[in-house]
Structure 1
Amino acid sequence: MPTPRVEIRYCPKCRWLLRAAWLAQELLTTFEGALGEVALVPAGNGLFQVWLDGELIFSRAEAGRFPEAKELKQLVRDRIAPDKDLGHSDRN
């Protein structure tokens, strides 16, 4: 079975590469061994989306904001490792 693939689509003209890279690092660190790939994909104007195995799990346009690292970790965890404890990221 192939391991999960996360794709972070970001607008390079908006200078959102660093934000996308930081979130990618957070996911790779948290889900070490559980994620097969986190891809950074330059995309259209103003776009910032996170996809997991072809399913859109976060859209800046829909939410009206960027995802928080904690929130993104929870979204990914709920789909690929529901029993994983995220430590402080699971606390309010």
Structure 2
Amino acid sequence: MTTVEIEYCVPCGFLERAETVQHALLSQFGEGIDELILITGDHGIFEVRVDGDVVFEKSEDEYDVDGITRDVRARL
């Protein structure tokens, strides 16, 4: 069972980013993902996790939907 979590900062307005990543992942891996969860957060967070392991973290990586998709693919 594969779970992908996208935690995003609500006050920062990162909902659109989260939805863009969500759409890309579901389009690419829809049947390979059992759960894709959007988690509201604050303090500038934007993280993508696969089964609890961080594959993208805003403060360490440049936001790139294709790059995030590649990183998730490597975990599936």
TM-score normalised over the length of structure 1: 0.77
**Which runs of 5 or more residues in structure 1 are unaligned?**
81-92
- Sequence identity (%): 32
Tell me the residue number matched to 1:14: 12
Give 1 or 2: higher strand fraction: 2
For the pair shown, which has the larger CA radius of gyration, 1 or 2? 1
Aligned length: 76
Tell me the residue number matched to 1:74: 70
**Which runs of 5 or more residues in structure 2 are unaligned?**
none
1:62 aligned counterpart, secondary structure: coil
Matched to 2:70, the amino acid is Q
TM-score normalised over the length of structure 2: 0.92
RMSD: 1.0
* Higher RCO structure, 1 or 2 (CA under 8 Å, sep 6+): 2
